[in-house]
Structure 1
Amino acid sequence: MTPGENTLEARMHSFRAKAKDSIFGQDAAIDALAAELSRRLETRSDHRPLAVLLLAGPDRSGTKADLVEVLADALDVPIHQYDLSPPWGEEDALIFGLNPGVPAWLSLQQSLTDHPRAIVALKAVEQAHPTVLSRLQAAWTSDRLVEPSGTEVATTGAIFVLTTELGQGAVGQLARQETDPDRLHVAAVKLLADAGFPIPVLRSIDAVIGLKSHTTGELIREYCRDLAEQARSQGLELADGGIDARIVTDVLEPAIGAYAKGEKRLRDRLDADLVRAKAEGAETVRLVLGDDGILVVPVDRSVQKEPQSSPGSAGQEGSGDE
């Protein structure tokens, strides 16, 4: 960033723009996160971390991790990331540097010593070992993290971003209905407490940022837009009705699919087939579901030969209009 762009307002503007461009349907959560951080950073305290925030609600396709990554990029700070879910032992030892088989620089204490301005991302915080959670909570309510050995490190430059898997559906529905961030925070705290989230931790955080649930229709429209954009990125247009409905149901089942975990591999293969179709003279294509994935079928009259995406693609062509 240039000096004129190196302001909190500019960085938050960059975060909002990049997050909304890359993360579907969470504009309200992005705005709430940016507003809360702006408020905390402008009134920073020398007696506690810059902010302690909890991301709650559904986590479709790693939305929470994506938010943290975009935020760190906008603030130009590193991410110290730890998964606190069981089995307990390895990660708990790692976060406090108690595992002799792991480099000391991976511990939170050393990470904050080397990079005091950072985001500390704690996944599944509600599942953390009670001792670890107690030490972390002490760090959130004071200006330092105290290790079991007694070593202390300042936390006043850190932003703690916690994530939880509890109450995803309830918080997701709440975020669809409640537009005011403060009221959402209060209601989400109650929902999470009822779901078993440690109440002392809820009292020590600054804000709950609720991610909303999406309807099946919203997911379908977004996935179709993604496919159309992927085709356009290779210089191709989709024909009207050019996406086989079975592609959508297979990918979104149950998200709503058979391909949900392998979606990135399928999309990478689709890119190769789109490039091949373009090289062979196609301008407009249809996407149909084959036995091994998504097939690209040209519909241009000028194209005489179909791409050799997979044996039997011609047999699948007829079903693409269903």
Structure 2
Amino acid sequence: MIHTEGLTKDFVVSRKETVHAVRGIDLDVAPGELVAILGPNGAGKTTTMRMLTTLLAPTSGSARVAGFDVVTEPGQVRRRIGYVGQGNGAGHNQRAADELYSQGVTYGLSRADSRRRAGELLESLDLAGKAQRKVTDLSGGQRRRLDVAMGLMHAPPLLVLDEPSTGLDPQNRANLWEHITAMRTTFDITVLLTTHYLDEADSMAERVVVVDHGEVIADDTPDALKTQLAGDLLVVTTDAPDGAAQLARVVERWQGASEVTLTGTRISARIANGTTRVAELVHTADAAAVGLSDVQVRRPTLDDVFLNLTGRSLRESGTENEEVAA
């Protein structure tokens, strides 16, 4: 569904300054996948999305979306994608059903087909009772569901979502994703997503692509990334400092153990296969007559992965604008 090779975008700020927003991204997305792109502000996520949706021309490299080149065949690409940007796309003083109808006609659907499709999407996205309401009278969650409906009016095989749930409360976020998941199954669509909510990417995406400084630095399933790049967090508290030091030396010898820290009677470390290792450590402590007062194993999160990859948390990655020429 998406294939890029060396996709690059530079913004010329002045004669002496060029910003390299995207630095040769290679990306493949298969039909039916839900792929999340993660990265801090300024990493190149939105620039990449805009190139894939023909809103920005690449400086170099190539990209094909739904089988068509984004530079030489932009019209063919646009017919086959739905795009939901960061802002609301519907006119504030328009009625929800009218916006969907207009979107369908714009994409070449007949009037009858536009009305039928609008009705289907309003029903599927739990907006049937809001069809005659103005967009300004809809809640934030309802507006975002309307945006998704607009992106799906022409039945595209690919839906591109650029931070679709930003600004929504947890209940509306969950509700939006419940509907998107249902839409994906009903209409058999591929979804490309950017988000700053790592729990969304973790629970929804089959693959996660991490972008930093305009480059792909990781690409795998959420579970694989957490296992390979973060590891389980092991925290053990003993009855005495001497026993803690003894067990810390054992943990340091484990293959793949990292970030081993000893603080008083408390040991913490990043390890692989935490559950298995805990049993081994408990056995070692028992054999050495070291008393344990607490043992915890926590599975890593995608934020742990991001911290490991970039040295900073995604939530603390700054607030600068991604685009130089937005």
TM-score, normalising length: structure 2: 0.35
* More contact order relative to length (CA 8 Å, sep ≥ 6): 2
TM-score, normalising length: structure 1: 0.35
More helix by share: 1
